[in-house]
Amino acid sequence: MSMQVETFTGKKIEKIYEDIQKKHQGNYQILEQKKKSKFAFFGKNYEVKVLIGAKKEGEKGKKVSKQEEKNKQLILTMLNDQVEQQERQVPTSENTQEIETMRKMMEKMMEKMESSEKDQGFLEGKNEQIFAEFYQIMLQNDVDESLAKQFILEVKTMMPADQWLNRKKIEEELTKKMAAALRITGPFDMENTKTIALVGPTGVGKTTTLAKISAILKQENKRIGLISTDVYRIGAIQQLETYANIMNSKMIEASNPQELKDAIDYFKNVEKVDQILIDTVGRSPMKKESIDLIKEYLDISQPDHTALVLSSTQKYKDMLQITKNYEEINVDSLIFTKLDETMSYGFMLNVLEKSGLHISYVTNGQNVPKDIYAATSELLAKKMLNGDDDFGSSGVTA
In tens, the pLDDT along 41-63 reads 445 577 888 777 655 444 444 44
Looking at 3.40.50.880, 3.90.1150.10, 3.40.50.300, 3.90.280.10, the CATH number of the domain 195-386 comes to 3.40.50.300
Q: Which of 187, 178, 297 is nearest to 232 (CA)?
A: 297
User: For position 95, what pLDDT does the model report?
Assistant: 59
**Integer Cα distance of 152 and 131 in angstroms:** 7
User: For position 155, what pLDDT does the model report?
Assistant: 94
User: For position 71, what pLDDT does the model report?
Assistant: 57
Q: Which of 183, 186, 182, 181 is nearest to 374 (CA)?
A: 186
Quick one: average pLDDT of 141-170?
92
Burial of 2 (0-12, 13-18, 19+ CB in 10 A): exposed
CA angle 219, 222, 225 (to 5 degrees): 110
**Integer Cα distance of 142 and 384 in angstroms:** 9
User: For position 117, what pLDDT does the model report?
Assistant: 47
Pick left, alpha or beta for residue 348 (phi over 0 → left; psi -120 to 50 → alpha; otherwise beta). alpha
**Integer Cα distance of 360 and 185 in angstroms:** 5
State the pLDDT confidence band at 64, using cuts at 50, 70 and 90. Answer: very low
State the pLDDT confidence band at 98, using cuts at 50, 70 and 90. Answer: low
Burial of 362 (0-12, 13-18, 19+ CB in 10 A): buried
Pick left, alpha or beta for residue 315 (phi over 0 → left; psi -120 to 50 → alpha; otherwise beta). beta
Q: Which of 41, 38, 72, 67 is nearest to 55 (CA)?
A: 67
Residues 301, 266 contacting (CB under 8 angstroms): no
For CA atoms 73, 77, 78, 83, the dihedral sign is positive
Q: Which of 199, 230, 209, 222 is nearest to 322 (CA)?
A: 199
User: For position 288, what pLDDT does the model report?
Assistant: 77
Neighbours of 116 (CB within 10 A): 19
Question: To the nearest whole number, what is the mean pLDDT of the chain?
Answer: 80
Could you tell me which residues are beta bridge partners of residue 226? Answer: 251, 277
